[in-house]
Amino acid sequence: MQELHKKLKEKFPDDVLGTHEQHGDETAIVKPSSLLKVAQFLRDDPEFAMNFLMDLTAVDGLRLGWNPRFQVVYHFFSYGKNHRLRIKVPAADGGSVPSLTGLWAVANWFERECWDLFGVKFDGHPDLRRIMMYDGFVGHPLRKDYPINKRQPLIGPGAIAK
């Protein structure tokens, strides 16, 4: 086991808030303000060499009583080294997280999706608009307080002309 999360903690003792490992997945929790620095390091450092941003999503901790409410979850993968690392960044309700669009092109759509479904903003994103929902949709459907039965049909005259 390489224990990348511990190495990352040693490298950035002030920026990494905590680390843990579960089911073989290594996780490091990073301060939002340091995300860009850490992500750049993960990508460019020859030991980490995380050239893939495999996944980006968020978890709404409303029912778990998280403070701050959201965690943005990044899954990194290194093709050369063949290892994975999960980075989590806490984000407050209505708060924002730095955008990784400058480092990985795929972050553009991932972050748009995250904004659309959770309402987490990404600072520095060139084009942060909805991707799954239509323009004019009210709310963010994957939030825990968005009711499952709520309907916002896009029908009738004037539905699109908003």
Q: Which of 88, 72, 81 is nearest to 50 (CA)?
A: 81
CB of 154 to another protein, least distance (A): 11
DSSP state of 62: G
CB of residue 14 to another protein, shortest distance in Å: 25
**Please, which residue, 14 or 135, has the CB nearer to another protein?**
135
* Shorter beta-carbon distance to another protein: residue 17 or 59: 59
The edge-to-edge listing of strands for the beta sheet with 16-22 is: 16-22, 25-30, 83-91, 70-78, 52-60
Nearest distance in Å: CB 88, another protein: 9
Provide the token pair at 103: 């480092």
Q: Give me the residues that bind another protein (CB under 8 A), please.
A: 22-25, 51-55, 57, 59-60, 63-64, 73, 75, 79, 82, 84, 86, 104-106, 108-110, 113, 117, 130-134, 141-142, 146, 148
Phi–psi pair at 148, nearest 5 degrees = -65, -30
